[in-house]
Amino acid sequence: MTFLKADRLTKAFGSTPALRGASLDVERGEILAVMGPSGSGKSTLLHCLAGIFTPDSGEVWFDGRRVDTMGDRERTALRRTAFGFVFQFGQLVPELTAVDNIALPLLLDGVRRRTAYGKAGEWFARLGLDGLETRRMGELSGGQAQRVAVGRALVTGPSVLFADEPTGALDSLTGENVMDLLVDTVRAVDATVVLVTHDARVAAHADRRVTVRDGEVLAGVKRVEV
C-alpha cells in the first residue's frame, strides 16, 4: 500500500481552479520534490496531502487512513503527531526563545514541560545551534532560524515532513546548508518528505521529482546517483 497518496484531487478557490485531477503516490522514507511555476497548484497539493485543505473531490490517504473524510479534530491531531511542517519563513513565534519554539509542539500535545524541554534541547547539537537555546528569533540569522524550524518540525517524531519552499527566504549558500542538514536529519530519523520548491538546486536533494502544471501532476523523475 502506498504510504501517502493523492487520488484525482480537485480544488478551486472561488472560480479559480488550483487542482484539476492531481494524483500522486509517495513511498515510505522517500524524499519527493514537487516542482512547478508559481500558481501551478503545487502548494495546494501539499496542503491537501497534509490535511490543511480539504479537496473538493478526490481522495487523500495516509498509511491506510483516508484523510480527506476525517473531521477537523482528527485531522488536527494527525498534523500534530504524524506530520511536521517547515515553511518558507519558518512561522516561528518571535517572542519565544529557540528552545521554546522547538518544545512548543510537544507542550501543545500535552507532554510534561520538563520532558518537552529535554527533548527540545537534544536538537541543538544535531542542528549546529549549540549555545543558542535562549536566543529569540530576532537574534538569529535566517539560516539559524530555519534550522530551529526544522527542529520544531521533527521534535515530535513525525512520519512525514512537509516542506514548502524551505529555503526560499535564504541566500543560496545558506539554503544549501539548510537543505544538507534537513536531508541528513530526515534520513537519520527515517521520515518521509514532501518538498515543494521552484529551485532545481533544492530539488536535487530529493530521491524523485514531479512537476505540477495547471493543477495536474506530470510524470516523475528519479535522481540518478553518479
Q: Is the pLDDT of residue 136 over 90?
A: yes
d(CA 99, CA 129): 10
Mean pLDDT of 88-92: 75
Residue at grid coordinates 532560524? 145
| Residues forming beta bridges with residue 85, ordered by sequence position | 162
Q: Is the pLDDT of residue 119 over 90?
A: yes
Q: How confident is the model at residue 29 (pLDDT cuts 50, 70, 90)?
A: very high
Q: With pLDDT > 70 as the criterion, what percentage of the chain qualifies? A: 95
pLDDT score recorded for residue 1: 67
Q: How confident is the model at residue 82 (pLDDT cuts 50, 70, 90)?
A: very high
Mean pLDDT of 42-58: 96
Q: Is the pLDDT of residue 226 over 50?
A: no
Which residues neighbour 80 within 8 Å (Cβ) at sequence distance 6 or greater?
Answer: 105, 108, 109, 156
pLDDT score recorded for residue 166: 87
Mean pLDDT of 116-122: 96
CATH superfamily of 4-222: P-loop containing nucleotide triphosphate hydrolases (3.40.50.300)
**Residue 110: phi, psi to the nearest 5?**
90, 10
Q: Is the pLDDT of residue 220 over 90?
A: no
Residue 147, Cβ density class (10 Å: 0-12 exposed, 13-18 middle, ≥19 buried): buried
Cell of 139: 537574534
d(CA 104, CA 91): 12
